[in-house]
């Protein structure tokens, strides 16, 4: 059993693949303490690590220094207001104006499998993969029950956490913060990694020291955001891609979040993660419950690379669902960068005709097909086909595309409303707004109030009508602005601050309805690129458009950063036109193809206008995608585009190590006497590998220790692909 309760030491030991996590019940009052998180250990009792025999001692021995105890005790779930002055996970507001809480162990249960979290996305696993521990704690003063939920994935180094809070009193209680995870590390000598950016520059890696004081990340934008991803890792200062201890935390949620590493007075570090307490309040009536979203915790004893591969394996097998979970995704061509709003049936068909000849499998019609939308200033909410542009109607267009042997996909932005729309004219109050205030526009649009059922029903019916009207096999679900002016005319004052979270729950409900009624549709999420690149979205859509920046060189960094957490098979990647529309850079078509190979792969250009030379390369690129797609799973990052901007190198190795693919991009050339030596990773030491192109054979250990020589490539932005096949063991 991967979870044990040891009566003698009153401790819980959670054992994942190579990881142990220990919690103990402490003293007569039954405080819940965090004892250990790291490499797997066999002992039944490691409670000495909590230093309870040292001053200030446990309260039953020294209650006069209770505050010192509370302020240094490694707690399992922190609560504020009673003497623990570090970051708190739970805070309330009672009728009498009290905000403090204190929780104590009450009971527990251990069972096989993993519970669902009501209304929320979460990782899943069967009875064979997962074991769950629920520890029920009580604040007897408030009559508040707090259930800490842990699930161990036995074959991965993964423990997930969430929290359920129940009001057992007979008065309303307002929750003003409910975070999902807290880990007190008994060390401060660590580095921390987070992923930052902006629109078109997502997931840039930021590595810094954990220092005394608070270093955190958060989003208060109503989405997980371009600016920072809901991911945080702490690690040995010496940790590298392949060595050292690394602890990764990722939040399975698509709205406001908060994560922080706090270096504390006695050189300990408290890491917390959960819904951002900023502007959050949730009213619990007697007997009501609140469920906090899941945090995934990954431990790696072999560097950042192993952490990433664990996240990828977990998400591919235990988060992403649906028909396309393990299937190769159709190679698509999207008309956004090809035409923007300027298209009609004939233009789309001309793209489809050319694309189908070259082996492209799906046409995606992007923004601009509905209402009277010819620019981004109107019609969101009016999901009615514009028959001036789509002459002959949607069904005609889709049938014609199908006749070419291609699938058809469509773009929606279901969460939005343009002030210039029939929907807004009919239902002004359906957008998120503050009564009496002029709302803040962004891209000329407001956000629909999806916390309201009638709004969700309208949105769903509009989507459904379109989806039933033709053979649509793919939906790109976009979301192009952040939430502001958060209020509505429905909820009572004391529930107004619930809108942020209710909105996210509304989005999840809509996606659930869509994926349940249309299980054959491939859903791709997008939020102006990667503003909702998060595991919450991956639960509904097996792929996410990770950035509007399609420049191959910019993408090296974006894809590198995103691969810290998210599987390559889930990242939307397209070959686009040159000069690139975002940065104006000119890169070879071949390099654009190779960079897009590290993802779902597709095109986003006017294929009728590119050079014949580029067009000729498309069938070759498609063949490469088909040949290597299954292999693009086990990622080993070799170069680091952030530390060495001269080149980029990533390697994919089959799970059984029988094949390996190396993608190498030389960013800037420089005069050099020598070729560049690349040491490969993740191969079998004693096996022999043949370079498919040259037929040269090398041992795995030579390729990993001696390396492979990449000869000078003439020019900037040049690339090379190497494919090694295992010949003999």
| Site pattern 370..389 for ligand GLA (x: CB under 6 A) | ------x-------------
Check 478, 534, 551, 614 and give the catalytic one.
478
Site for ligand GLA contains 563 (CB under 6 A): no
CB count in 10 Å sphere of residue 438: 8
Q: Which of 100-108, 177-185, 426-434, 525-533 is the region at the interface with ligand GLA (rule: CB under 6 A)?
A: 525-533
* 84 labelled catalytic: no
Phi, psi of 418 (to 5 degrees): -90, 140
Distance of closest approach, residue 480 Cβ to ligand GLA, in angstroms:
5
Site for ligand GLA contains 102 (CB under 6 A): no
Q: What is the DSSP string of 221-277?
A: SSSS-SSB-SEEEEEETT--SSSB-EEEEEE--SS-EEEEEEE-TTS-EEEEEEE--
CB count in 10 Å sphere of residue 393: 14
Q: Which of 219-227, 522-530, 555-563, 621-629 is the region at the interface with ligand GLA (rule: CB under 6 A)?
A: 522-530
Q: What is the dihedral of CA 510, 414, 321, 252, to 10 degrees?
A: -80
H or E element that contains 11: strand 11-15
Distance of closest approach, residue 165 Cβ to ligand GLA, in angstroms:
36
Kindly tell me which residue out of 282, 336, 343, 539 binds ligand GLA, with binding defined by CB under 6 A.
336
What number of residues does the chain have? Answer: 729
Check 84, 313, 548, 551 and give the catalytic one.
548
Q: Measured between alpha carbons, how far is 81 from 91 in angstroms, rounded to an integer?
A: 8
Q: Which of 54-62, 97-105, 297-305, 521-529 is the region at the interface with ligand GLA (rule: CB under 6 A)?
A: 521-529
| Site pattern 273..312 for ligand GLA (x: CB under 6 A) | ----------------------------------------
Distance of closest approach, residue 411 Cβ to ligand GLA, in angstroms:
6
Distances (CA, A) of 67 to 54, 75, 83, 132, 490: 15, 13, 5, 33, 44
Q: Which of 43-51, 309-317, 524-532, 703-711 is the region at the interface with ligand GLA (rule: CB under 6 A)?
A: 524-532
Question: Tokens in use for 548?
Answer: 């509007």
How many residues sit in the footprint of ligand GLA (CB under 6 A)?
12
Q: Whose Cβ is closer to ligand GLA: residue 233's or residue 522's?
A: 522
Kindly tell me which residue out of 26, 156, 511, 526 binds ligand GLA, with binding defined by CB under 6 A.
526
Q: Whose Cβ is closer to ligand GLA: residue 11's or residue 421's?
A: 421
| Site pattern 442..481 for ligand GLA (x: CB under 6 A) | ------------------------------------x-x-
**In this structure, are residues 275 and 256 in contact, taking their beta carbons and an 8 Å threshold?**
yes
* 236 labelled catalytic: no
Q: Whose Cβ is closer to ligand GLA: residue 376's or residue 646's?
A: 376
Q: Measured between alpha carbons, how far is 325 from 476 in angstroms, rounded to an integer?
A: 17
Which one, of 209, 99, 90, lies nearest residue 147 by Cα?
Answer: 90
Q: Measured between alpha carbons, how far is 633 from 568 in angstroms, rounded to an integer?
A: 7
Q: Which of 58-66, 447-455, 523-531, 558-566 is the region at the interface with ligand GLA (rule: CB under 6 A)?
A: 523-531
Site for ligand GLA contains 548 (CB under 6 A): yes
Distance of closest approach, residue 665 Cβ to ligand GLA, in angstroms:
23
Angle at 644 between CA 642 and CA 647, to 5 degrees: 105
Q: Whose Cβ is closer to ligand GLA: residue 198's or residue 675's?
A: 198
Angle at 473 between CA 569 and CA 552, to 5 degrees: 40
Distance of closest approach, residue 205 Cβ to ligand GLA, in angstroms:
22
| Site pattern 408..427 for ligand GLA (x: CB under 6 A) | ---x----------------
CA quadruple 601, 605, 606, 608: dihedral sign: negative
Which one, of 157, 160, 163, 422, lies nearest residue 308 by Cα?
Answer: 157
Kindly tell me which residue out of 528, 561, 567, 682 binds ligand GLA, with binding defined by CB under 6 A.
528
CB count in 10 Å sphere of residue 641: 24
- Chain residues 478-497 in contact with ligand GLA, contact rule CB under 6 A: 478, 480
Closest residue to ligand GLA in the complex (CB): 367
Which one, of 201, 331, 327, 328, lies nearest residue 603 by Cα?
Answer: 331
Q: Whose Cβ is closer to ligand GLA: residue 408's or residue 411's?
A: 411
Distances (CA, A) of 486 to 225, 433, 437: 17, 6, 11
Q: Which residue ranges make up the site for ligand GLA (CB under 6 A)? A: 336, 366-367, 376, 411, 478, 480, 526, 528-529, 545, 548
The catalytic residue positions are 478, 548
């Amino acid at each position: 059993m991967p979870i044990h309760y040891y009566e003698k030491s009153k401790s819980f030991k959670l054992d994942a693949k190579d990881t142990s996590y220990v919690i103990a019940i402490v003293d007569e009052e039954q405080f819940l303490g965090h004892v250990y998180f790291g490499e797997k250990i066999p002992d039944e009792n490691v409670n000495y690590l909590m230093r309870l025999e040292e001053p200030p001692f446990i309260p039953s021995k020294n209650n006069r220094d209770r505050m010192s105890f509370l302020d240094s005790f490694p707690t399992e779930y922190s609560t504020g207001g009673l003497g623990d002055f570090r970051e708190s996970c739970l805070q309330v507001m009672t009728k009498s104006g009290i905000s403090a809480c204190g929780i104590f162990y009450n009971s527990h249960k251990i069972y096989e499998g993993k519970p669902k979290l009501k209304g929320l996305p979460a990782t899943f696993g069967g009875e064979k993969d997962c074991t769950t521990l629920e520890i029920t704690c009580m604040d007897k003063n408030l009559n508040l029950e707090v259930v800490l939920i842990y699930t161990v994935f036995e074959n991965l180094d993964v423990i997930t956490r969430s929290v359920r809070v129940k009001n057992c009193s007979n008065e309303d209680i307002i929750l003003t913060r409910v975070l999902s995870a807290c880990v007190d590390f008994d060390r401060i000598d660590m580095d921390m990694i987070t992923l930052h950016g902006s629109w078109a520059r997502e997931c840039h890696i930021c590595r810094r020291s954990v220092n005394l004081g608070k270093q955190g990340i958060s989003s208060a934008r109503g989405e997980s955001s371009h600016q920072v991803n809901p991911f945080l890792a702490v690690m040995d200062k010496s940790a590298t891609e392949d060595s050292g201890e690394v602890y990764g935390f990722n939040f399975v949620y698509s709205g406001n979040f908060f994560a922080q590493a706090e270096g504390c007075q006695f050189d300990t570090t408290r890491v917390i993660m959960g819904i951002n307490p900023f502007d959050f309040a949730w009213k619990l009536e007697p007997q009501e419950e609140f469920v906090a979203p899941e945090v995934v915790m990954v431990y790696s004893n072999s560097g950042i690379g192993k952490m990433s591969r664990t996240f990828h394996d977990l998400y591919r097998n235990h988060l992403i669902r649906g028909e396309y979970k393990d299937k190769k995704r159709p190679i698509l061509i999207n008309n956004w960068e090809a035409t923007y709003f300027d298209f009609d049936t004939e233009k789309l068909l001309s793209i489809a005709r050319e694309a189908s000849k070259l082996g492209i499998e799906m046409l995606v019609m992007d923004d601009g097909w509905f209402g009277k939308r010819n620019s981004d200033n109107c019609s969101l909410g009016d999901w009615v086909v514009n028959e001036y542009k789509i002459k002959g109607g949607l069904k005609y267009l889709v049938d014609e595309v199908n006749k070419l042997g291609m699938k058809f996909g469509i773009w929606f932005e279901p969460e939005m409303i343009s002030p210039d729309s029939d929907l807004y004219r009919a239902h002004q109050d359906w957008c998120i707004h503050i009564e009496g205030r002029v709302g803040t526009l962004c891209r000329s649009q407001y956000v629909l109030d999806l916390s309201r059922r009638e709004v969700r029903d309208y949105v769903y019916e509009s989507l459904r009508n379109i989806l039933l009207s033709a053979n649509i096999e793919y939906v790109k679900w976009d979301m192009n602005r952040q939430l502001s002016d958060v209020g509505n005319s429905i909820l009572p004052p004391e529930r107004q601050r619930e809108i942020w979270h209710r909105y996210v729950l509304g989005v999840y409900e809509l996606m659930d309805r869509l994926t349940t009624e249309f299980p054959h549709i491939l859903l791709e999420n997008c939020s102006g690129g990667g503003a909702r690149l998060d595991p919450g979205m991956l639960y509904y859509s097996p792929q996410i458009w990770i950035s509007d920046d399609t420049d191959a060189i910019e993408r090296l960094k974006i894809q590198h950063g995103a691969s810290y957490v998210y599987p390559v098979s889930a990242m939307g990647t397209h070959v686009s036109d040159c000069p690139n529309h975002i940065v104006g850079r000119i890169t070879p078509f071949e390099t654009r193809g190779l960079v897009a190979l590290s993802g779902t792969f597709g095109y986003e250009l006017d294929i009728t206008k590119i050079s014949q030379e580029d067009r000729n390369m498309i069938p070759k690129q498609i063949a490469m995608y088909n040949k290597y797609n299954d292999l693009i799973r086990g990622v080993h990052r070799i170069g680091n585009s952030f530390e060495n901007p001269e080149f980029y190198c990533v390697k994919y190795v089959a799970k059984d190590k029988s094949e390996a693919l190396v993608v190498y991009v030389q960013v800037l050339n420089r005069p050099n006497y020598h070729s560049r030596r690349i040491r490969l990773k993740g191969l079998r030491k004693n096996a022999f590998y043949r370079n498919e192109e040259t037929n040269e054979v090398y041992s795995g250990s030579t390729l990993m220790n001696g390396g492979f020589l990449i000869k000078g490539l003439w020019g900037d932005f040049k690339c090379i692909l190497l494919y090694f096949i295992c010949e003999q063991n």
